[in-house]
Amino acid sequence: MMNKIPILAGIVGLLANLTVQAEIRTETVEYHQGDAVLEGYLAWDDSIEGKRPAVVIVHQWKGLTDYEKKRARMLAELGYVAFAADIYGKGVRAADAQEAGKLAGRYKQDLPLLRARVQAAVDFIEKNPLVQTGQVAAIGYCFGGTTVLELARSGADVKGVVSFHGGLGTALPAGKGEVKCKVLVLHGADDPYAPAAEVSALEEELRKAGADWQLILYGGAVHSFTDWNAGSDNSRGAAYNERADKRSWAAMQQFLDELF
């Protein structure tokens, strides 16, 4: 019986260690861009001590939803401070695709405002006491992918950006030397909303800008290939693709490892 006591104590200790290995904390927070009140979602692993890099996540065209919040928690599990940004404003969320199109269109037609909104998220998270100074990246999905590319074009002082199936065109292309961060574009090879001509135009833009950029095309993937709520019918132009989702997430992780 005496020999069992150390064994039981060891088991209890092991279970206790497992309990504290990952304590993902989340918080809904208000921040501002000018007079606009924005509402983002913060996630971090409270079991990690000290400062760490941060990743801003920019939402799809309906606004900040449970999808982006889930991605934020996934990034927190990887050890980052994750901040799901709000481009549209507190309480402004699209009820359907028609409303989403109008909301996204407003910002795509006003790129200085779009850039200011995403920069506000970067500025906010950089002040977080858990975040290492100058160690911020940004990722985005669909509309969010478009947004983080605009962040890069603006010459923002971030380490890098990752676009997942984002729109690639712009009315304000980057000039030589203006893209100061690294760029990773993860794109569906069959995406009808950003076809080959748009991909080629982005390549040429980044090449002329002298940017450090990468582009990965996923065969058989259309728009929204990472969104598990998008269905599986490629003929609709937007559909989930599990293989492309997993591969793109792995590519993002490798990219962030390189940045930080």
Look at residue 22 in the predicted model and tell me its pLDDT: 72
In the chain, the domains with their CATH numbers are 22-259 (3.40.50.1820)
Look at residue 21 in the predicted model and tell me its pLDDT: 57
Cβ partners under 8 Å of residue 120, min gap 6: 31, 32, 33, 38
How far apart, in whole angstroms, are the C-alpha atoms of residue 2 and residue 151? 64
How far apart, in whole angstroms, are the C-alpha atoms of residue 133 and residue 127? 8
Look at residue 6 in the predicted model and tell me its pLDDT: 46
Q: Is the dihedral of CA 209, 210, 213, 217 positive or negative?
A: positive
How far apart, in whole angstroms, are the C-alpha atoms of residue 245 and residue 147? 20
Burial class of 249 by CB neighbour count within 10 A (0 to 12, 13 to 18, 19+): middle
Q: What angle is formed at CA 124 by the lines to CA 84 and CA 63, rounded to 5 degrees? A: 30
How far apart, in whole angstroms, are the C-alpha atoms of residue 137 and residue 189? 25
> How do residues 129-144 score in pLDDT, each as one tens digit?
999 999 999 999 999 9
Helix (H, G, I), strand (E, B) or coil at 188: strand
Q: What is the pLDDT along the chain (260 residues), one digit of tens a residue?
A: 445 444 444 544 544 444 445 799 999 999 999 999 999 999 999 999 999 999 999 999 999 999 999 999 999 999 999 999 999 999 999 999 999 999 999 999 999 999 999 999 999 999 999 999 999 999 999 999 999 999 999 999 999 999 999 999 999 999 999 999 999 999 999 999 999 999 999 999 999 999 999 999 999 999 999 999 999 999 999 999 999 999 999 999 999 999 99
Look at residue 124 in the predicted model and tell me its pLDDT: 98
Does the pTM exceed 0.85?
A: yes
